[in-house]
Amino acid sequence: SAKSFTTIGHETKDHPIYIEEWEQLAKEKLKKGPFDYVRSGAGDEKTLAANRAAFDKWSIYPRVLRDVTDATTRTKLLNQEISLPLLLAPLGYQGIIHPDAECASARAAEKAGIPFVTSTVSTRSLEEVAEAAPTGKNWFQLYWSNNREVSASMVSRAEAAGYQAIVVTVDTGLLGWRKSDFKNGFAPLKEAMGDANYRNDPAFRKSVPHWTEENIREEILKNILHPNLVWEDLLFLREHTLLPILVKGILHPDDAEKAVDLGLDGIIVSNHGGRQLDGALASIDALPAIAARVNKRVPLLVDSGFRSGSDLYKALALGADAVLIGRPYIYGLAVSGEAGVTSIIKNLQTELDLTLALSGANSINELSTTNLIQTGC
């Protein structure tokens, strides 16, 4: 059947179409502390800016006069069908954004047929999120705890709640230099918006000698940051779970190689949306060397700075299997809850679908570097 571009995409006309407009509306709706927390990057925000600018180095090299009636964004990730190669990245503390928090985001992802990654520091507990989206492709992101028992316990709970993959974030040994949060005196942990997974955890409860509010916060902070985490620790996790383990926060091909060598199941190229190491290279700049090294041995994902169908297309052509978005869906959540997240996903899907077809491609799998040409430096 003929492609019907009129029926997909921007159907909710009362919603913005520009991400910048969503951002502006979110800014008007949220208090300064939470809004700046979401928007900002570390240091002088060089990496935050580089994440966007780097897309301009590549241009799409289109082909014409090919039948693209059946062009589709459907693809497979970790042996599962997904409606488009997109995931909602783990973003903690979503209760500072909207009362429905992660439950709304997870439901939107469930309806769209794409994975939602629940953060360790989610406002709603991982069990609650899974319950809100029972048929969703739910993944759990682990902030490695200094206390192995706590890490193991959270992963076991994620398994029990039906999560399908574990994402270990490895670029947060220490918290980045977040100037706007210092200036605003804003710390989401202080708002008690990211402690549900700890408060409910039997291993964590056992580890806090005196269960006072002050102690709990301090212990949680000690649990989130892990400057002593090394590769060998991930072997412990590998032995502890049968779920696929993806490592998030890789920028160097040698580290990607190490992850594959250790038997991990996927790599997420990321600089944490420019929120951790300022001055680090853009994710899309890190991608080609990592794709070459990994050479399709494990799924390769990427995030940081993706805002359009054309951005997604470029990463897929450079060797990524899927892309995660962070801030865009959070702006949708801030403005319109679940419906806002749905709008963001739908528009990206439509834009990717169109980009694919207009470039002369029919599927994600056929994309390669031949679909791009380097026009900038």
Give the binding site for ligand FNR (CB under 6 A).
37-38, 89-92, 119, 121, 141, 169, 248, 270, 272-273, 275, 303-306, 325-327
Show the tokens assigned to 214. 């002050």
Catalytic residue among 15, 98, 226, 272: 272
Query: Which residues are CB-neighbours of 264 under 8 A, at least 6 positions away?
Result: 234, 238, 245, 246, 247, 298
Helix residue ranges per DSSP H, the chain: 19-29, 32-39, 46-53, 101-112, 126-132, 148-160, 179-184, 196-199, 202-207, 213-224, 231-240, 253-261, 283-294, 309-317, 327-358
> In angstroms, rounded to a whole number, what is the distance separating the alpha carbons of residues 345 and 351?
10
Nearest residue (CB) to ligand FNR, 203 versus 325: 325
Q: Is 226 a known active-site residue? A: no
Question: How would you classify the pairing of strands 58-60 and 372-374?
Answer: antiparallel
- For residue 330, the minimal CB distance to ligand FNR (Å) is 6
- For residue 232, the minimal CB distance to ligand FNR (Å) is 21
- For residue 304, the minimal CB distance to ligand FNR (Å) is 4
Query: Which residues are CB-neighbours of 261 under 8 A, at least 6 positions away?
Result: none
Nearest residue (CB) to ligand FNR, 334 versus 361: 334
Query: Which residues are CB-neighbours of 280 under 8 A, at least 6 positions away?
Result: 47, 251, 271, 274
Nearest residue (CB) to ligand FNR, 248 versus 314: 248
Nearest residue (CB) to ligand FNR, 36 versus 360: 36
Q: What is the total residue count of the chain?
A: 377
Show the tokens assigned to 164. 């399908």
Nearest residue (CB) to ligand FNR, 157 versus 361: 157
Residue at token pair 């921007």 = 10
What are the residue numbers of the active site? 272
